[in-house]
């Protein structure tokens, strides 16, 4: 298992067919191309002024994130992405 540090999350990118089901479509012509994914692990939050700030997203959330953010890793067969919570734009509620 991959446990992200500070305000980072690990997410599983969601492919095009899955996106159609959720009703969110991310156009190719978008100025800043976003992507959709599912959170699989969250960090403990970063520390500011001696207090830890918990993340707003939780495991299982479907999110829209900035396409050029993060670092790809592969665990077994799964391609995952490690990125900061600030690169997540919104939660998709279904």
Give the footprint of its own copies on this chain (CB under 8 A).
1-6, 8, 10, 23-27, 30-32, 34, 41, 44, 47-51, 53, 56-57, 64, 66, 68, 70-76, 79, 82, 85-86, 88-93
The minimum distance between CB 6 and its own copies, in angstroms, equals 7
Per DSSP, 40 falls in state E
**Around Cβ 40, how many Cβ atoms within 10 Å?**
19
CA distance 44 to 58: 11
The minimum distance between CB 17 and its own copies, in angstroms, equals 16
Exposure string of 14-37, with b = 16+ CB inside 10 Å and e = fewer, is: beeeebeeeeeeeeeeeeeebbbb
The minimum distance between CB 39 and its own copies, in angstroms, equals 12
| For its own copies, the closer CB: 6 or 38 | 6
């Amino acid at each position: 298992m991959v446990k992200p540090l500070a305000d980072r999350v690990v997410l599983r990118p969601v492919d095009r067919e899955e996106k159609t089901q959720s009703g969110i479509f991310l156009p190719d012509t978008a100025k800043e191309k976003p992507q959709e994914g599912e959170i699989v692990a969250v960090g403990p939050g970063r520390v500011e002024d001696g207090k830890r700030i918990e993340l707003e997203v939780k495991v299982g959330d479907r999110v829209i994130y900035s396409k050029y953010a993060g670092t790809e890793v592969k665990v077994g067969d799964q391609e995952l992405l490690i990125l900061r919570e600030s690169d997540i734009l919104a939660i998709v509620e279904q």
